[in-house]
Amino acid sequence: MKKIGIIGAMDEEVQILKSQMQNEKVKTIASMEFHEGILKNHEAVVVRCGIGKVNAAICTQILIDLFDVEAVINTGVAGSLRNEIEIADIVLSTDTQQHDVDATGFGYPVGVIPRMESSIFQADERLITLAKEVCEEVIPEVGVHTGRIVSGDQFISDSGKKTWLVDNFNGYCTEMEGASIAQTAYLNQVPFLIIRAISDKADHSAEMSYKEFEEIAIRNTVKLLNGLVARL
């Protein structure tokens, strides 16, 4: 893979990566700053897309159309949807789905986008394998899980809503961008991987936990990203 796009929703999630870039050029498009340069000897474009699925989808399309990236990696934090997935653990996406798509009134199951072949988008096998290997090497103390990531334009901090998500989607964690990045990459036939570090348990404790653990969660994703980019 020649040039890769790396998307984070928030400044905190991409700040360290941006500071590590060499020969950096910055272009502002759609109110987003695209940082193009060399990261770990690899051509990369690092960008903060802003929070939510619309921002993330627009950003992904720009990376593909205007920066010609050959793969898209999304890094950030997420709320755990499984008891065995602890704070600071890493989740690598096998695939993604949007939990807030609801055409049930038309007879579609929740999460299914009407008139699309699929609503579940598969991440790139090679990126998953490489990311797993890098985790074992650079953050061996951290639990690594590979499974479905579900996204919606909602911060999940309610135990009832979490139970609904668990019951309706086979998700490992929940966040607000991954599945829209995945859908955009799928439509353009570009490989992608969503990498999330767990900052909270997506329940009543989520807001407090998020504030406390966001930093350590991001530190782990940066180590993983550095190792992964160096191997591409």
Q: Could you list the active site residues?
A: 13, 200
Closest CB to ligand ADE belongs to which residue? 79
* Shortest Cβ 29–ligand ADE spacing (Å): 25
Interface with ligand ADE, residue 91, by CB under 6 A: no
- How near is the Cβ of 156 to ligand ADE at its closest, in Å? 4
Encoding tokens for residue 161? 């809503």
Radius of gyration of the chain (CA): 16
Based on CB atoms, which residue is closest to ligand ADE, 9 or 232? 9
# of chain residues touching ligand ADE (CB under 6 A): 14
Query: Is residue 164 a contact point for ligand ADE (CB under 6 A)?
Result: no
Q: Does 81 bind ligand ADE (CB under 6 A)?
A: no
| Burial class of residue 136 in the structure, from the number of CB atoms within 10 Å of its CB (0-12 exposed, 13-18 middle, 19+ buried) | exposed
Answer for which of 13, 43, 95, 175 binds ligand ADE (CB under 6 A) is 175
| Contact in structure between 56 and 49 (CB atoms under 8 Å) | yes
Instruction: Specify whether the CB–CB gap between 221 and 197 falls below 8 A.
Output: yes
Which stretch in 30-38, 77-85, 163-171, 181-189 sits in contact with ligand ADE by CB under 6 A? 77-85
Pick the stretch among 18-26, 74-82, 136-144, 184-192 that binds ligand ADE (CB under 6 A).
74-82
CA 17, distance to chain mean position in Å, is: 15
- Is there a contact between 133 and 140 (Cβ–Cβ < 8 Å)? no
By CB under 6 A, tell whether 206 contacts ligand ADE.
Answer: yes
Segment interacting with ligand ADE (CB under 6 A) among 25-33, 88-96, 102-110, 194-202: 194-202
Closer residue to ligand ADE in complex, CB, 64/149: 149
Select the residue interacting with ligand ADE from 73, 87, 92, 156 (CB under 6 A). Answer: 156
Q: Which is nearer to ligand ADE, 67 or 210 (CB)?
A: 210
Q: What is the largest CA-CA distance in the chain?
A: 52
Two tokens, residue 158? 């309610």
Distances in Å between the Cα of 130 and the Cα atoms of 72, 84, 126, 212, 226 are 14, 23, 6, 29, 12
Say how far apart CA 5 and CA 118 lie, in whole Å.
24
Which residue of 56, 64, 176, 185 would you call a contact of ligand ADE, by CB under 6 A?
A: 176
Specify burial of residue 140 (Cβ count, 10 A radius: 0-12, 13-18, 19+): exposed
The answer to whether 172 contacts ligand ADE (rule: CB under 6 A) is: no
Q: Beta-carbon neighbour count of residue 147 at 10 Å?
A: 16
Q: Which spans of this chain sit near ligand ADE (rule: CB under 6 A)?
A: 77-79, 155-157, 174-176, 199-200, 202, 206, 210
